[in-house]
A = this chain, B = another copy of it.
Amino acid sequence: MHAPGDIRVEELSDPSIQEPTDAVLRLSATCVCGSDLWRYRGEDAFSSPQHMGHEYVGVVEEIGSAVTTLRPGDVVVGSFFASDNTCEICRAGYQTSCVHRQLMSGAQSELLRVPLADGTLVAVEGTPDDTQLRGLLAASDVFGTGWFGARAAQVGPGSTVVVVGDGAVGLLAVLSAKLMGAERIIAMSRHAARQEIAREFGATDIVAERGEEGVELVREMTGGLGAPSVIEAVGTQAAMSQAFRVTRAGGHLGFVGVSHGVTFEGRDLFMSHVHLHGGPAPVRDYLPDLTSRIMAKEINPGRVFDLDLPLAEAAEAYRAMDERRAVKALLRPSAP
């Protein structure tokens, strides 16, 4: 990204092993993230051109001398933060706050250097077919993020859940809630195509109304109290306020939309009795479970990719997502 709105695919020198804990991957699939759009739209500060992309599935091409759990040829998935997966914070399940974390970038490419490879990458059994590949790519970020949202919202068997946001993360939060045993899943969505995916993933109710009207409707649907579990998957003040106001006293609000200009009044939080938890999803923690389910074909989270393009057409992928012509665009690097 040379500037907001200016995406170019350029030839760079190949990445190589720099630290003994590195691996270099040849990517099978990558994609554009909703969070990339903040920068694309100029809504995040932009200082200098940058290599984009932090979602990836690939084949290990080369490993550093200290890497012990991976071999060249392994099909692997990783998260948007590299992590050692051994520190106290990682062991508590917060790999995205790892004391040695490194934010990934440059995954919208053919080759990718991944630091802390043992702690970051998870190898899958067997060779994924195209459906599985799409699922694994979703697991790299949006599925893991929806999963964390549902965990943070304390979804469990029999839960009533509200999901605010119908992007890939919101939709996969619906799927996550369903897999965790939720009984009632209310998806707040205005777009017919996204409502359809939400229903396929397990939404039992769709609320198309927003703002005050949407809040009132959801409260009516939940005995006037709001829901015990709510997932916020947008990151704006409007979405957060909506989510907050449909969470019942004592309920859990999991927020996974990257916060943009969101503030909370302490007094509102205090009087609400809402549990608040969120942040960058510790995807690494969920990858072994999620990739197993995908390889077993129990689930199809890759359903959120509704546009396939060669990597060379990355600029069109951004445009399509920006204009909401696509939920999420998958990019295929060329074959080696």
| Chain A residues proximal to chain B, CB less than 8 Å | 88-89, 92-94, 96-97, 99, 223-225, 228, 235, 237, 240, 248-250, 255, 258-267, 269-280
Bound Cα distance A297, B261 (Å): 51
A264-B261 contact in complex given A223-B88, A250-B93, A250-B94, C-beta closer than 8 Å: no
CB<8 Å pairs between A and B, sample of 23 = A89-B225, A89-B248, A93-B250, A94-B250, A96-B273, A97-B249, A99-B225, A237-B266, A240-B266, A255-B266, A258-B270, A259-B266, A262-B265, A262-B267, A263-B263, A263-B266, A264-B269, A269-B276, A269-B279, A270-B278, A270-B280, A273-B280, A275-B276
A280-B271 contact in complex given A263-B266, A266-B259, C-beta closer than 8 Å: yes
The answer on a CB contact under 8 Å between B89 and A250 is yes
Whole-angstrom distance between the Cβ of A130 and the nearest chain B Cβ: 34
The answer on a CB contact under 8 Å between A261 and B270 is no
Copies of this polypeptide in the complex: 2
Task: Give 9 new A-B contacts, CB below 8 A, not counting A88-B223, A92-B250, A263-B263.
Answer: A89-B249, A93-B250, A94-B250, A96-B273, A260-B266, A262-B265, A262-B266, A270-B280, A271-B279
Neighbouring B residues of A92 by C-beta, 8 Å: 228, 250
Q: Nearest chain-B residue to A256 (Cβ)?
A: B270
The answer on a CB contact under 8 Å between A269 and B278 is yes
The 5 closest A-B pairs by CB, nearest first: A262-B266, A97-B249, A259-B266, A94-B250, A264-B264
Contact partner, A263, options B93, B250, B265, B277, Cβ 8 Å: B265
Q: Nearest chain-B residue to A87 (Cβ)?
A: B225
Find the residue from A89, A266, A267 having the highest chain B CB count within 10 A. A266
Bound Cα distance A218, B276 (Å): 24
The answer on a CB contact under 8 Å between B280 and A277 is no
Contact partner, A273, options B94, B263, B272, Cβ 8 Å: B94
Neighbouring B residues of A250 by C-beta, 8 Å: 89, 92-94, 97
Whole-angstrom distance between the Cβ of A253 and the nearest chain B Cβ: 10
Bound Cα distance A266, B235 (Å): 9
Bound Cα distance A267, B224 (Å): 30
Neighbouring B residues of A260 by C-beta, 8 Å: 266-267
The answer on a CB contact under 8 Å between A249 and B280 is no
Neighbouring B residues of A93 by C-beta, 8 Å: 250
Whole-angstrom distance between the Cβ of A141 and the nearest chain B Cβ: 15
Q: Nearest chain-B residue to A259 (Cβ)?
A: B266
The answer on a CB contact under 8 Å between B279 and A277 is no
Neighbouring B residues of A249 by C-beta, 8 Å: 89, 94, 97
Contact partner, A255, options B248, B263, B270, B279, Cβ 8 Å: B270
Q: Nearest chain-B residue to A255 (Cβ)?
A: B270
Neighbouring B residues of A274 by C-beta, 8 Å: 277
Neighbouring B residues of A276 by C-beta, 8 Å: 269, 275-277
